[in-house]
Amino acid sequence: MKNNTGIWLAIFVVVSFLIYLLAPILMPFISAAILAYIADPLVDKLEVKMSRILAVSIVFLSLSIFVVLLLLILLPLFEKQIIILVEKLPLYIDRFQQYILPVLKENFGLDLTVLDMSVVKKALTTYWRDAGSIATNVIASISRSGLVLVGWVANFLLMLVVTFYLLRDWDVLVEKIHRLLPRKNEEKIVVFAKESDEVLGAFFRGQMLVMFALSVIYTVGLMMVGLDTALLIGALSGIVSFVPYLGFIVGIVVASIAALMQFQDILPLVYVLIVFMVGQLLEGMVLTPLLVGDRTGLHPVAVIFAVLAGGQIFGFVGILLALPVAAVVAVMLRHLHEQYTSSGLYSE
């Protein structure tokens, strides 16, 4: 038992060290593995009526077309709203100084006159102007460097190729791994793998659909309110909604500030509140039960810690690996808890 534990510990250390060393080149492979994992159930359903290679081709082409169209539609809209925000930011700061500061001082005793709003305005305007020109700078740098362009295109094509082959051979790879399992512990490992798959599926398939749906709901609702930055705020709120209530809190705070700066009226704040209340109700009563269920078993704090820790240790690759690893660890801890509560140590 001690020898086996030492072997597994050594494997864990070696794998972690290799991930750390190879992080710069692992991103397309990990991204491809995640995409293949997400799309495999759909391929399995289509495989009942056609060959595996045809099912993979249909799913692969459909996903590729969807992603390309989504980028072609959203990127210009994001750029337009960032430009609007940069142009109107000085006006919003003036309104804050003229209307909000007196209210804060009168009702809450907050004296913010010590702030030099001209300095704040200059700093924020410079920051958002830089943020708004990120895409332009990236495109310019790519055009100046053929190697950068070649590298980006090569990584993207590599991810597509690896995704296709992983989808085609997914079941074969799973079966080969199954055959390598120790016969003595095969049954336990299979149960553990199925539970981990439920948790991973809930996150990667269900939660991504929930995030996308909430982004659409918040964006459409804020557009109906008339916010100039509805797409930015709606997308941000939907993306961070993988942590329960975080998307709701971030969205309602940012949208309320934006509405107050833009309209200088209380009524739009009521509309913003209604939009996020409707989104929260739909998430809790329809989207999460239907698309995710209660299979994740991951506490929101554990999710935040896993993402931050993965990013700190392994960079962007660590962020991609954070939730899968956290899900497997959660299942492992659940099994250890069951073993402990059924052991003589606990009963004594």
Compute the half-sphere exposure of residue 106: CA atoms within 13 Å on the CB side of its CA.
5
pLDDT of residue 69: 84
The band of 263, judged by pLDDT with boundaries at 50, 70 and 90, is: confident
Report for 177-191, 231-245, 266-280: range of highest mean pLDDT: 266-280
Let me know if 25 is exposed, middle or buried by CB neighbors in 10 A (0-12, 13-18, 19+): exposed
Q: How far apart are alpha carbons 198 and 195 in whole angstroms?
A: 5
Question: What DSSP letter does each residue of 222-244 carry, written as one string?
Answer: HHHHT-TTHHHHHHHHHHGGGST
Q: Are the C-beta atoms of 181 and 189 separated by less than 8 Å? A: yes
Which carries the bigger pLDDT value, residue 297 or residue 61? 61
**What is the pLDDT averaged over residues 151-161?**
79
The band of 143, judged by pLDDT with boundaries at 50, 70 and 90, is: very low
The band of 276, judged by pLDDT with boundaries at 50, 70 and 90, is: very high
Report for 42-56, 129-143, 253-267: range of highest mean pLDDT: 42-56
Single out the residue of 112, 130, 117 nearest to residue 90, CA to CA.
117
Which carries the bigger pLDDT value, residue 6 or residue 117? 6
Which carries the bigger pLDDT value, residue 143 or residue 150? 150
Q: Are the C-beta atoms of 55 and 47 separated by less than 8 Å? A: yes
**What is the pLDDT averaged over residues 158-179?**
87
Q: 174-197 pLDDT, tens per residue?
A: 888 888 877 787 888 888 888 888
The band of 110, judged by pLDDT with boundaries at 50, 70 and 90, is: low
The band of 142, judged by pLDDT with boundaries at 50, 70 and 90, is: very low
**What is the pLDDT averaged over residues 230-252?**
86
Q: Is the pLDDT of residue 40 over 50?
A: yes
Q: How far apart are alpha carbons 212 and 208 in whole angstroms?
A: 6
pLDDT of residue 208: 84
The band of 58, judged by pLDDT with boundaries at 50, 70 and 90, is: very high
Q: Is the pLDDT of residue 148 over 60?
A: no
- Angle between the 186-201 and 316-341 helix axes, to the nearest 10 degrees? 130
Rg (the chain; Cα; Å): 25
**What is the pLDDT averaged over residues 53-72?**
86
Provide the sign of the torsion angle of the four alpha carbons 262, 267, 270, 275, taken in this order: negative
3-state secondary structure of 181: coil
Which carries the bigger pLDDT value, residue 297 or residue 153? 153
The band of 266, judged by pLDDT with boundaries at 50, 70 and 90, is: confident
Q: Average pLDDT over the chain, rounded to whole?
A: 78
Which carries the bigger pLDDT value, residue 133 or residue 238? 238
Q: How far apart are alpha carbons 243 and 247 in whole angstroms?
A: 7
pLDDT of residue 213: 92
Q: 13-35 pLDDT, tens per residue?
A: 887 777 777 777 788 888 888 88
Domain boundaries, the chain: 21-180, 185-296
